[in-house]
Amino acid sequence: MVVLAELVFSASDLAHMRFVVSPMWEVVTSFRLQNSASVHPVHRRWVEQVRPRVKAAGLDRDRLAELIPPSGYVPDFLNPAPSGPAPTPSVELAAILAAPVGRVRQDLDHLEHHRGRRGPRLRSLYAEPRARLVRVAEEIETYWELALAPYWARIRAVLDADVFYRARQVAEHGVGHLFNDLHASVSWSDNALRVVRRQRTLSRETAGTGLLLVPSAFAGPGPHTRVSLPEPPQLAYPARGVGALWEPRAIAGTNAIAAVLGRSRTLLLTELETPASTTEPAPWSRALVPAGGHWSPGICRASNPLCPSNRTSSTVSNPSASEGLRSRLSVAKTPTSGTRSRPCRAALRRREPVTSGGNQYAVAVAPCA
């Protein structure tokens, strides 16, 4: 049965509408996707890498697997309303641990209504929510480290780009255009947001004030809603650009980068653009540079992904650079007496001196900005 859910907006509701990038929404939607019998071709490469890790950790048969079934309802307490625009996983885990006991049991009752049964692990969670939620949080943390953390820079780039695009839509065309372009099942007319959903209705009487719009790399094929008074309702929708999320990308300026790092190390650096195994990208974020290594300004400008133009304090950054190259070489501010520090001319922070061919080098680790 197809139900038209209608959410009426007042001026106050529009004033409290905002975008949120939520790690927990990515945990829930990605866990469901990798645990599904059918996988969308877009995410097949990611699933082939992640699924064996999840099974090896036993997460496919533990509490998280019972809480997030392949289809249907997911307990609302797993997606607490974020207080900020981009909470960290630890902040959202803390909110899950602080979920009211009554809310946890109510959600588990609703889950049992949909699934028709409650396994032994969920029975223990129902009996002792405060104690058993700790184990749920541990499983979520393990899943995050295995399945999402190695790829988070790439995923986050897609989500941030979607928020930027949607915010510009609002600025240029208004809220109605934003909603009408969000998804085929979502529309806006007569001061109301309408969502074609199955099974459950949605109204302002059962939802809080405003609306949280949550782009997701793994949500689909349609949007997901979460309603839990007194929190604002949440609408998670498929983000733009997901189709190219796992595709290898051509990196501009590699010849200029190779002039500094060498062709082999440059090749390893560009490999950050593709999904990798469990421990990446850490092993690839090292490069050998001369111990007193200064960048040539010409090379620096030619290799834009590693030496972007925007500068903040002692670091340079470029929000439009590809996320794989966000693991770029950080630039330390070490001006000499009477000389003003310039981007790309400062010496890199030294680590582990190495001597090779009569030249001294230092291993420089380049964390993301």
DSSP H/E element including 65: helix 63-67
User: Is residue 54 over pLDDT 50?
Assistant: yes
Predicted confidence at residue 197, as pLDDT, reads 65
pLDDT category at 5 given cuts 50, 70, 90 is confident
Share of the chain above pLDDT 70, in %: 67
**Per-residue pLDDT tens over the stretch 158-205:** 999 999 999 999 999 999 999 998 888 888 888 888 887 655 666 666
345-348 CB contacts, 8 Å cutoff, 24+ apart: 345/294, 345/295, 345/297, 345/300, 346/294, 347/292, 347/293, 347/294, 348/289, 348/293
Q: Is the pLDDT of residue 315 over 50?
A: no
Q: What is the pLDDT of residue 111?
A: 92
What are the tens digits of pLDDT across the range 59-83? 988 999 999 988 888 999 999 998 8
The more confident residue out of 300 and 20 is 20
Higher local confidence (pLDDT), 345 or 134: 134
Alpha helices in 150-246 (DSSP H): 152-173, 175-182
**Confidence band for 125, pLDDT divided at 50, 70 and 90:** very high
Q: Give Cβ neighbours of residue 106 (< 8 Å, ≥ 6 apart).
A: none
State the pLDDT at residue 36.
Answer: 85
Helices (H), 174-309: 175-182, 254-261, 263-270, 297-302
At residue 364, does pLDDT exceed 50? no
Q: What is the DSSP letter of 310?
A: E
| Band (46; pLDDT cuts 50, 70, 90) | very high
**DSSP designation for 219:** -
336: which residues sit within 8 A by CB, 6+ positions away?
none
Any residues with CB less than 8 A from the CB of 132 and at least 6 apart, and which?
Answer: 63, 124, 125
Average pLDDT (8-15) is 87
- Judge whether residue 41 has pLDDT over 90: no
**If pLDDT is split at 50, 70 and 90, which confidence band does 290 have?**
very low
**219-272: pLDDT as tens digits:** 878 888 888 888 888 999 999 988 888 887 666 667 777 778 787 777 666 655
Six-digit token string for 146: 């295995």
Tell me the per-residue pLDDT of 293-308, one tens digit each, with 9 for 90 and over: 444 445 444 544 444 4
pLDDT of 273: 53
Q: Give me 285's structure tokens.
A: 């974020």
Cβ atoms within 10 Å, residue 177: 14
Average pLDDT, the chain: 75
Q: How confident is the model at residue 359 (pLDDT cuts 50, 70, 90)?
A: low
